[in-house]
Chains A and B, each alone.
Chain A
């Protein structure tokens, strides 16, 4: 009995220490091994690389004066005013932030109505639709590029439809607009999912009480519902901004080099092995992202939200003929058309590409997959092991990232001062460029180090799962922390005073109350693992640890059917189907397992 009590008492702190240890080995150590080059030259501290980059007008535009000649700024500003406020350039960083801002705005505009629809209306296939919103998240950028090209290109489906309707042509390709749309394609579902979860946890009784006390529907919405949605919405916006700030392959594939982001240069520097400059760019990106995260977390901590209780009742979406007269429902129908164009269009286009050869309909690309599976030639990438590995890594990531995320949430929710800073630092896996993480893992864990005459390296399946979990657990934390903070602390206190350990309280009182949030975080964790590419290829030992995105990437280079993206689109379709099926299963089962 005593042993068990001690075990329970130590469970949360031990798990936290383990989480920090994992982060230290698989994240902080590799990343800092890269970023240190930004501030260390020949063994001593230096600011030179930072000054070089920040003082370079190519990177920072007019802001470079801040770092090269700060005293000249007042005069410069005066000149600018005298010249009649001509437009100002803020360099590569300025453009990167600008496109990220637009992308965030677009993602919120596109994502928010989706949350309203999914949280407030009942219709056939609602739960399935909700599960499928994860799909864009797992798609490799080359597939999105193929889908977007086929949908929004000059001869794309959209122009065909517009032409048939007599509405003329749109030229979106190689423009800022297409990049913003592609970013919305990836990130609006994030907004939808996070806000839907928050909306579903609004306590209906509080709304009813407000209404009973005489508040109108708008007032009740503003005072009860909005404060509950805002943290989720701002979290989603923050994540979108950070992700699109670090965006890279899709920008070059659809927009071209004229619309390059900082990450494009970071990648080029790594390719050139100019690691000090790469580290400097990575450091600036990371500092900016983490600063935003910290500001947001401080805001979030000041919000008091209370979740739990009964969910708001959903209204029927279709209400007979009246549906056509209701402005809200007509608005949702228009929104539905937009969703068809932006999400269904590219996805379906990609699937169509997978059955379209140069001379019309073909099954050659799926035949290719079957042949790959059947061959015994060395070095062949087969679809079935790729699917099996993806699912195994996904489940492993789920199993590891969910406890990690919950433990971190518990520590930062109940922690005192400094816990915002702690959570900020622990959300760093979201805020550090994937190129930097990859390079760091390569030069630490993959190359290994010599300890007592033995070369110690890490790699293989377990290392992949751990690395995926590190990338994924912040999604769990971001979902669970606000929910945990919303639990009435008296509940926890009374459970504790009745003799329940911290661990028991968490398991029996808190988790059941925030289960929706845990599930939402878990879904993201699984999706992150399924879509992950960079660390998977680095940590795979030998050739057998490939996943679906890795197989897809290798099929791009496969020339047995000529230089065709067909085999890759076929694999992309398989990836979509497997992911969709997994999510239907996960969310159904997860809903049933609610403790």
Chain B
């Protein structure tokens, strides 16, 4: 796909990096991508790469080399969990480079690449949720990710409800809990899913489209746990009847909530981490754990079947599960640690609220169902 990859593959680890550094020299520190601009083919149009299908690994496997981590774009950049992980891991494993890739369409990019036999340019995918893991498996004949087995250091400390993959491909590294955020000046705390159907909450709830939004899908899945697979559509029919609004994604939904369009919104239980202090009206940032629950939406990482250096990948995953990394990720990503007994920071502990009871779906519970659940739900909402 690009010259960088070609360079790396055709020369042994460190030497390749030196060449790369030579190429980038004049760049503005833009993540070492100067190869496109300064190459002979300035446009980068029609660059070729030899031996795309070979999995070339050179040198020793355990130390040195480049680890290519595919993730979502807000995981990297100034003062993010991604950049902390990169520098901390590179310091610990000298000679190692972590390179982030942020494909716009997320893991689908790799599912489609695998389907078409196009090269996979990453070793680890970071930021995978359970439904995506289901999709990646369902759409391909061969597995996209490999199992990391039983012996990953630190994996035994993972919180129970977050261990969503019995086949041990997806390893959780943090989690959010979906809950309601409501304005107690305008409504009383909604305690249960059933209470949302009461007329006093008519037109009061904004949620997100489960077809395209993580919290939206989590809220739908949570309602399926609460009301059962048989009854959830009937429940939603009544909820739509009570004037629920389903917007595209979290941003417009929360913006509409902040502007006072409705007094309740489906959001995260870390809400107060962002909103606290003397100037903030805390009445607008109350958490509603319906049925005393919160739906966990763990973010997981997984090693590609085609990873160049699986050993280095495993070392990285173990590093992510260490206590230091867990608390750093939690604070910078504003998500809860996936490992038990980690205290990210005093402030985080004070304002990030864990639900009394955690619920979520495992891989096996979603496989074969999640698509039709979402489809039937969206048809119902669109037709009402």
Contacts and interface: CB of A to CB of B under 8 A. Distances in A.
B210 to A, nearest CB: 9
Given A258-B384, A272-B371, A379-B77, A447 B29 contact: no
A6 B118 CA distance: 44
A537 interface: yes
Interface string B1-19: 1101000000000000000
A153 B256 contact: yes
A31 B37 CA distance: 29
A32 to B, nearest CB: 15
A258 B381 contact: yes
Interface in B1-43: 1-2, 4, 28-33, 35-37, 43
Nearest to A564: B274
Contacts of A463: 43-45
A133 interface: no
Given A260-B382, A461-B44, A565-B251, A557 B135 contact: no
Contacts of A87: none
Interface string A377-411: 11111000100000000000000000000000000
Contacts of A375: 78
A542 B31 contact: yes
Interface stretch (B105-113, B150-158, B190-198, B227-235): B105-113
Contact of B255 (A155, A456, A459, A565): A565
Nearest to A557: B74
Interface string A243-264: 0000001001110111010001
Nearest to A542: B33
A290 to B, nearest CB: 26
A44 interface: no
Contacts of B100: 378-379
B139 interface: yes
Contact of B116 (A443, A453, A538, A556): A443
Contacts of A257: 209, 246-247, 378, 381-382
Interface string B257-300: 00111000000000000110001100000000000000000000
A378 B80 CA distance: 10
Interface in B361-384: 371, 374, 378-379, 381-384
A558 B43 CA distance: 29
B252 A559 contact: no
A544 B275 CA distance: 33
Given A376-B29, A457-B47, A268 B378 contact: yes
Interface in A540-576: 541-544, 554, 556-560, 562-563, 565
A440 to B, nearest CB: 12
Among A92, A385, A543, the one with the most B-chain Cβ atoms within 10 Å of its Cβ is A543
B141 interface: no
Interface stretch (B48-56, B60-68, B166-174, B337-345): B48-56
A378 B97 CA distance: 12
B381 A562 contact: no
A253 B252 contact: yes
B261 A149 contact: yes
A456 B46 contact: yes
Contacts of A443: 112, 116
Contacts of B119: 455
Nearest to B256: A149
A372 interface: yes
B336 interface: no
Given A258-B382, A459-B45, A538-B104, A371 B78 contact: yes
B245 interface: yes
A271 B111 contact: no
B353 interface: no
B105 A145 contact: no
A455 B78 contact: no
Contact of A258 (B78, B118, B240): B240
Contacts of A155: 259-261
Given A153-B261, A256-B246, 12 more contacts: A145-B252, A253-B247, A257-B247, A258-B382, A377-B77, A379-B31, A455-B118, A460-B47, A462-B43, A544-B33, A554-B73, A559-B74
CB-CB nearest 4 A-B residue pairs: A460-B44, A542-B33, A462-B43, A557-B74
Contacts of A377: 77-79, 83
Interface string A45-72: 0000000000000100000000000000
A459 B248 contact: no
B310 interface: no
B252 A557 contact: no
Contacts of A2: none
B43 A378 contact: no
A542 B2 contact: yes
A109 to B, nearest CB: 27
A10 to B, nearest CB: 25
A505 interface: no
Interface of A: 58, 92, 142, 145-146, 149-150, 153-156, 173-174, 249, 252-254, 256-258, 260, 264-265, 267-268, 271-274, 358-359, 371-372, 375-381, 385, 442-443, 447-448, 450, 453-463, 537-538, 541-544, 554, 556-560, 562-563, 565
Given A149-B256, A380-B78, A458 B83 contact: no
A371 B65 CA distance: 32
A447 B113 CA distance: 7
Contacts of A268: 211-212, 374, 378
B148 to A, nearest CB: 25
Given A258-B381, A358-B280, A562-B274, A460 B45 contact: yes
B279 A462 contact: no
A266 B222 CA distance: 25
Contact of B46 (A150, A254, A442, A458): A458
B171 to A, nearest CB: 23
B334 interface: yes
A563 B279 CA distance: 17
A267 B212 CA distance: 9
Given A258-B384, A264-B211, A563 B274 contact: yes
A383 B74 CA distance: 16
B82 to A, nearest CB: 7
Contacts of A541: 1-2, 33, 36, 44
B263 to A, nearest CB: 11
A377 B4 CA distance: 20
A531 B105 CA distance: 19
Given A145-B255, A377-B83, A256 B247 contact: yes
B237 interface: no
B57 interface: no
B102 A379 contact: yes
B314 interface: no
Contact of A454 (B4, B49, B105, B247): B49
Contact of A563 (B33, B35, B254): B254
B72 interface: yes
B45 A173 contact: no
Contacts of A563: 250-251, 254, 274
Given A249-B248, A442-B109, A173 B83 contact: no
Contacts of B45: 458-460, 462-463
B112 A273 contact: yes
B250 to A, nearest CB: 8
Contact of A153 (B2, B74, B77, B259): B259
Nearest to A153: B259
Contacts of B105: 442
A271 B245 contact: no
11 contacts: A154-B261, A252-B249, A252-B252, A267-B212, A271-B212, A379-B82, A379-B100, A460-B45, A461-B44, A542-B31, A544-B30
A257 B381 CA distance: 7
Contacts of B31: 378-379, 542-544
A149 B78 contact: no
